[in-house]
Structure 1
């Protein structure tokens, strides 16, 4: 059950044609948001901008008049550094510059667990990894997410733009691997978390983990809960079937020893 805002707000949703963006296009409006959509792929919607993040003029048009931004756009897997640089690093910079020029004061940045991917995973679902654990990116992709977090910190200190950087685990309709049992973020919980990140007062620059209340959770959700996030879902109902099909995580397997999973191999492998 969602509780709509007393009056709708206009939120720019970048990456709106992607997998996560498509889910949020359906799940965020019940909270009272009017969405403006941005993606390099066309979207059949009356308030949509089709452009790349490199298009500064299109970004300026997209941010004009919005109250906040949910930034999901960019490359979501590992890629050659030049591609990551253009889409995830330069693209995020262009977005923050457009927000600064337009006076937008709140951004929710889709970071990733891969910003800390080489962090050893807990051997049990202890929820032990805090949000302030040192960054250990596992790929150029993870490196770009660390850059985005630092850029958000800079724009808070320098320009007063507040950001919640959400280190998303894996937002899918249901978990598909044993590893994902510990990182799964249900689409409904993702919408709950984004709503909390958009509306919590005085966030400055806050880094939180994004997952459901999983029984096998590896990281600490207290920073997300402090925003008002109240996750309702748990991956455990899927555990028996996934473990029967795939087996338990093996501490001798390098793909299972770190938070980033197969992204920590050379070369990185996915899906994860």
Structure 2
């Protein structure tokens, strides 16, 4: 099959999956976000089509049950992974929409996650995992610029070069025997949820820079995507502090916060 035909098929499958998810979940993407999402798909295919062709199980369900937290709460872990096989070995891949710089800066987190998945796979199927990797489909600054140039000018040269120099493959060391602490950390989180311990970090922590994200702090990376941020004391303190003009989200956040508080006052009356 010609590459152009394959990419047409990818677009068709992408649109079908999007409509299915939109119908099932009741959420739609704005056209720009949807466009960038498909760019992620094309980048992955153009860079790693050989790897994609080796994947013989996608969204493979892994389930680990009978776990217990330090406080005695029962819990289970459910995961979905992509598996590639050769005649001799089994590989595990997890696709992330973050960029590789961010994932590499937070490598330990993803090593823990993939080693837990490796253990779950071994316990269920008995096959040792030969290797595991994260595929980072997020766009680098070079890719963003190349896609913009391609969209505006139809110039494919810069895009081809950007994809050629892009390395989204981040292999992690496989050691399924390191998962004891990971499961313990899961258990502690479950205990906090069951105990309704939903304490937000102090407002000063919201200023902390995020590893692997240039000019991005905790509030911009986490809080801006949290629906509960305008009921959060830490976030309200963060956006109201003097000298906060450097925060790009400050003005719009304060305006929205004022609207919400005004709406609450009207409801109270």
Is this a same-fold pair by TM over 0.5?
A: no
More helix by share: 2
Query: Normalization by structure 1: what TM-score?
Result: 0.29
Structure with higher RCO (Cα < 8 A, 6+ apart): 1
Rg larger in structure: 2
Query: Normalization by structure 2: what TM-score?
Result: 0.29
